[in-house]
Structure 1
Amino acid sequence: MAPTKHDQKPEPGDLIEIFRGGYQHWAIYIGNGFVIHLAPPSEHADAGAYSMMSVLCDKAIVKKEELWTVVGNDEYRINNLLDNKYEPRPVGEIIREARKFLAKELPYCVFRGNCEHFVTELRYGKPESRQVRQAVNIGVGVGVMAMVGIGALAFASAILGSRDKEQQTKRMKK
């Protein structure tokens, strides 16, 4: 499903994926135009590239804000991404649990405890982050490609090196 601008109507308990350019910020809709989200200090709608600094944060605050304040001019979509994998918790339970965290400072780690982990744990009882998994897979893929490339260079170097030695040996025999 492609991102949209401000035309989707979320239901309480829906996960909201906000496209910040380079990464996605996540919130959970609690009704009446409000979301709850885990926000590092650099996370806000108009932060631009500065919001990428959240990778350096080790703490974040759970906030309740209007959806439009969090989204700003960015695109977003309702994305209950794990509904086909897990049974969503009852909406009342999701919202009650989310409200318990309001204004609390929580540990923040881009790899183990980011805003996506926060909202998926609220909705499904399981903290997961697809964007972290994708980044790790891309990193592994790039690493494998680099190793293949290095291996190919070493192989080519060995072949060319042996040819050079053969030619030197032939010249010396003459």
Structure 2
Amino acid sequence: MKEIPVSQAYRLLEPGPIVLVATSYKGRPNVMTLGFHMMIQHVPPLIDCIIGPWDHSYQALRATGECVIATPTLDLAETVVDIGNCSGDTVDTFQRFGLKPRSASEVKAQLIGDCLANIECRVADASLVDTYNLFILEAKRIWIDAARNERRTMHHCGGGSFTVDGGTLDFGDRMTKWRHLP
């Protein structure tokens, strides 16, 4: 075995797909790319996200307490990377990348019509933001584009490398202990 730096632990454990986070602050919409997030609870559905003060979206999320987490698919790979390489403080990300904003029901941030799924969220707990840049969000509404053909998502492996989802394994019949969960 070869030892690697502990700073690369995220490359081995990153649990979910790369997502886009949409915010709106002072009437200005923004989108950022995010890789540090995970589900932390089923009911109510809670999601943690690491968004630091170096990200333009940080101020919007702190001020408004709401956002949309959108799941892009493989056809948006280059756009997702390019969004991650710019900042909403100098770029109108919706306009620059030709994203299709859609009105949300519970939050002012826009849904991203180009994505497979959109989750409207409100900050449920900000007590760890100052220490760890960790926002705990509660999912309020979820929208899925059921007609979308491309469904493969991307997972960041570090250094510009991504893993792409492929097939699905269905072990539902073996999950006897967890059948009660939705």
Larger radius of gyration: 1
User: Normalising TM by the smaller chain, what interval?
Assistant: under 0.3
Q: Give the TM-score, by structure 1 length.
A: 0.28
Q: Give the TM-score, by structure 2 length.
A: 0.27
More helix by share: 1
